[in-house]
Amino acid sequence: MFPSANSTHFIERKEPLRVLIVGAGEVGFDIAQMLSSEGHDVVVIERDEDRVTAVRDRLDVMAIVGNGAASDTLKAAGVDRADMMIAVTTVDEVNIIACMMADRLGVETTIARIRSSEYTDAESVLRAGDFGIDFVIHPEESAAEEAARLIRRAGATDALSFADGRLQLLGMKIETNAPVVGKKLMEIASSSSDLHYRIMAIRRGGRTILPRGDEKLRLDDQIFILSFTEDVPQVSKILSGKRDRGIEHVMILGGGHVGARLARTLRQGKKKSIKLIEPDRDRARRLAEAIEDILVINGDPTDIDLLVAEGLGEMDALAAVTQDEESNLVTCLMAKHLGVRKTVALLSKRAYIPISQAIGLDAAINIKLAVSAEVSRFLRGKHVLSVATIHGVDAEILELRAHNGSAVTRGTLQEISVPRGVLIGAIIDGTEVRIATGRTKIHTGQSAIVFSLPQMTEKVERLFQGE
């Protein structure tokens, strides 16, 4: 999922970039690790000495103890040579001030993690741009929106949205009795020619395949389908043989930023019965007052007896989004045992994500992946509009814009010979969206949703770059 930008500012890629990161918590550490592995010059600023020691011991980056919102600390970190500032502490105000200081000291691009909507809502008196912030990351909001999409699509293991919600990318497991087992993709497409969709990737035995038309689907394949949003129910039925029954009764464990946002999102649209379990009495009271038409219960989300007493076994879906990821896993497994159709767990450790589905969970969401994707986009250049990844799939999903004179505009997709390891799924031209075929031609200014294996990413980016 892509958090929304408050600016169209991009940084022109140089090698290597010098990046200052304020905050060495889980998110800051993850970003530092990613940028360092790509060869960028990274400096981490953190007040906690133990965290600084951990960064120095485990990463090939410079780490200093200090206040990232103080000019002296920034100057000591080499702010005068920095290309980018990323402020991702747990305190919004620190991130805002750090970016404002960096902007005043000449840093070209500033990115801030902001949880509160006070600075990002349309009616806000002060906007993030007023503080010199080029881009705002809302990882908790992104995680909540992804969880909501997964709950609404009961049969999906993954869900991403593109083109302002007009396109959806859904993950789906090919189970026993699915009518498409053993069929080639071209056969499946010809039998449902009135629908607009494309199978973009297959995860098979730990291997990622970007399929051609002659690829056959097998039992236990996990497939990823790009489809018009309105066609999703029909596409799901054709591929799985099952009708995607709606979700009416939902239980949410944890009323933090993710849980509260998820409750608000699910309350919109079709009516749902929502129960939210929150251990903090004051927070539970505030949530009950702030969110209409949900039942907030002050209790321990890890207390299985409480959950059963509150009707866990009668729920259609459970979203475990507490800060205790082990409890999230265990509770979701218990819910599946009790017959809950859809379980979604918030997991911070990436290693848990592929394990979660193997042991029976339906879906997992991860805050750090959303942040890493947004930072990656800034490092690519102006032709890259967005970047996403899917848990367990060794491919990137790029939204690329074709610039004047780019190779991708010189013929149809068949004629330009898109290399293996690259699959172009859809074309976006303003308000018009089309699922791509071999006869599709991309014109200057149009953008495309592209799947790319890691080793092919630079090649596909060159296809869209201008003269």
**Structural domain ending residue among the three candidates 368, 386, 414:** 368
Residue 424 lies in a domain: yes
CATH number of the domain to which 228 belongs: 3.30.70.1450
Closest CA to 215 of 197, 231, 198: 198
Q: How far apart are CA 33 and CA 375, in angstroms?
A: 12
CATH number of the domain to which 277 belongs: 3.40.50.720
Relative orientation angle of helices 257-267 and 281-290, to the nearest 10 degrees? 20
What tokens appear for 78 in the block? 């080499």
Residue 28 lies in a domain: yes
Return the residue matching tokens 């410079």: 62
Contact predicate 382/444, CB 8 Å:
no
User: Do residues 411 and 446 share a domain?
Assistant: yes
Closest CA to 441 of 430, 451, 452, 427: 427
User: Do residues 230 and 259 share a domain?
Assistant: no
pTM of the model: 0.72
Domain extent at residue 230? 155-240
The dihedrals phi and psi of 280, each to the nearest 5 degrees, come to: -85, 120
Q: How far apart are CA 440 and CA 402, in angstroms?
A: 14
**Measured CA angle at 227 (ends 223, 230), to 5 deg:** 130
Residue 143 lies in a domain: no
SS3 per-residue string spanning 147-177:
HHHHHHCCCCCEEEEEHHHCEEEEEEECCCC
Return the residue matching tokens 């990161």: 21
User: Do residues 360 and 401 share a domain?
Assistant: no
**Structural domain ending residue among the three candidates 184, 211, 240:** 240
Residue 43 lies in a domain: yes
User: Do residues 223 and 287 share a domain?
Assistant: no
Residue 11 lies in a domain: no
User: Do residues 89 and 187 share a domain?
Assistant: no
User: Do residues 123 and 166 share a domain?
Assistant: no
pLDDT, position 10: 41
User: Do residues 259 and 234 share a domain?
Assistant: no
Residue 10 lies in a domain: no
- Total domains in the chain come to 4
pLDDT, position 182: 93
Strands 342-346 and 363-365: parallel
Residue 383 lies in a domain: no
| DSSP letter string, 2-35 | -PPPS----PPP-SS-EEEEE--SHHHHHHHHHH
Q: Where are the alpha helices (DSSP H) in 244-402?
A: 257-267, 281-290, 304-309, 325-337, 352-358, 367-380
User: Do residues 185 and 292 share a domain?
Assistant: no
User: Do residues 203 and 288 share a domain?
Assistant: no
Closest CA to 140 of 164, 160, 115: 115
Closest CA to 439 of 416, 460, 414: 414
Closest CA to 152 of 164, 174, 168: 168
The dihedrals phi and psi of 163, each to the nearest 5 degrees, come to: 55, 50
Contact predicate 359/17, CB 8 Å:
no
User: Do residues 316 and 411 share a domain?
Assistant: no
**Structural domain ending residue among the three candidates 216, 240, 264:** 240
**Maximum distance among all Cα pairs of the chain, rounded to whole angstroms:** 66
Q: Where are the alpha helices (DSSP H) in 184-324?
A: 185-190, 232-240, 257-267, 281-290, 304-309
pLDDT, position 5: 37
User: Do residues 356 and 432 share a domain?
Assistant: no
Q: How far apart are CA 157 and CA 137, in angstroms?
A: 24
pLDDT, position 381: 56
Question: Consecutive 10-residue runs of the chain (467 residues): their mean pLDDT?
Answer: 38 70 90 88 96 95 94 93 92 92 92 76 60 83 86 79 86 88 91 87 88 91 91 87 80 94 87 93 95 94 94 95 91 93 85 68 78 68 60 79 91 88 92 90 93 86 83
What tokens appear for 51 in the block? 């965290």
Q: How far apart are CA 200 and CA 170, in angstroms?
A: 10
Residue 423 lies in a domain: yes
User: Do residues 88 and 181 share a domain?
Assistant: no
Give, in order, the Cα–Cα distances in Å from 301 to each of 33, 156, 256, 375, 410: 33, 25, 12, 33, 57
pLDDT, position 140: 83
Q: How far apart are CA 269 and CA 271, in angstroms?
A: 6
